[in-house]
Amino acid sequence: MEPARDPRVQASSGRPGCGRFAPSPTSALHLGNLRTALAAWLLARRSGRGFVVRIEDLDQARVAAAGDIAGRQLADLEALGLDWDGPVLRQSRRLEIYAEMIDRLPCYPCFCTRREIAAASRAPDGNPASGDGGWLPYPGTCRGLSDAERAARARERPAALRLRAPISRRAVRDLARGVQSGRVDDVVLRRNDGTPAYNLAVVVDDALQGVDQVVRARDLWPSAPRQAMIAGMLALPVPGYAHTGLVTGPGGRRLAKSGGDAGLAELAAAGIGVDRVRRLLCRSLGLPEIDRLEELLTEDPRIDAALRPPAPSEGNASSRGVTPLEAGPLTGPIGWWSDAEIPISPLDLRPSER
């Protein structure tokens, strides 16, 4: 029997919903994050959608260690010129909703450590060049444990909770990549410390916030099939996806929060103001270098054309059918879908330039 549709999900009535930007408040937003936020805002606003901001702060230990990063992130978005609709949603205040949703799904306890999963897992195609070939799905070690075996393992370590997935592959659509099929597995729904897992929380929040357009970096594309599977099992709508390219710094160095990459405050201290950042972000997206973001919302077919990926079009996407999931870089003209190098970072400036 199909689950009933959640009454908290508003009927679309043929109108677009909203886009979103959902940072994790563990470090400042670097240039790659800001580029994705700008692309998400612009694709939403120019398509008549609303735009919401969500703080994904479920990992309270890391959030506490980072201090008031969330406030700084919101200030940086405002400084760039982004606006959003309604209050900012914080996942840490929605634990009861996630627990309710988990209770609707077929689950089982899992006692495996990450090391045990890595040792037991084998990628079916063994091809790291394919979109999800480098991701090792959970091999189902704990799926068939007896009650006695579960009780014995529970004495050794707390259990996570995994979804009992009814399928092994799921097709999803991306605005620039067309329809692609990726593998799914018994994804974690609740970690062994009791924290709801990201893949569950993001599905629930997108649905209940009316998000029907998810714009995020392409390294998250392989997670879309798993999230679409969860949404389907909960009778929640599956959003459309638009995965942006990745951003590198000077010399092609990958930007990363863990690497201490600069936010607006560090860039400003190095003499790189928000106006210059805004223009460089627009250039990296194939857009005109403007002084105010409102200029990008005027009626201008050139801007609409710049936001439209060249391939696959709706016509050749249907002729191609469903293809294996591929998360690599896309070729063609510069746009939100393409990788970009933004050659500014105080970490890379010579002392004489500071």
Instruction: Note the pLDDT tens digit of each residue in 288-308.
Output: 999 999 999 999 999 999 999
pLDDT of residue 115: 86
- Residues (pLDDT < 50) of the chain are 1, 123-131, 259, 313-319, 350-354
pLDDT of residue 354: 38
Cβ neighbour number for residue 351 with a 10 Å cutoff = 5
Residues 6+ apart with CB under 8 A from 20: 40, 44, 51, 52, 53, 54, 206, 209, 211, 214, 215
pLDDT of residue 152: 97
- Residue 3's identity, in one-letter code, is P
pLDDT of residue 347: 52
pLDDT of residue 321: 72
Helix (H, G, I), strand (E, B) or coil at 18: strand
- Residue 32's identity, in one-letter code, is G
Domain-by-domain residue ranges, the chain?
18-353
pLDDT of residue 135: 72
Residues 6+ apart with CB under 8 A from 215: 19, 20, 21, 36, 39, 40, 43, 44, 241, 242, 243, 244, 336
pLDDT of residue 270: 86
Considering the domain 18-353, what is its CATH architecture? Answer: 3-Layer(aba) Sandwich (3.40)
Residues 6+ apart with CB under 8 A from 278: 80, 81, 290, 291, 293
DSSP string of 152-194, one letter each residue: HHHTTSPPEEEE--S-SEEEEEETTTEEEEEE----EEE-TTS
pLDDT of residue 261: 65
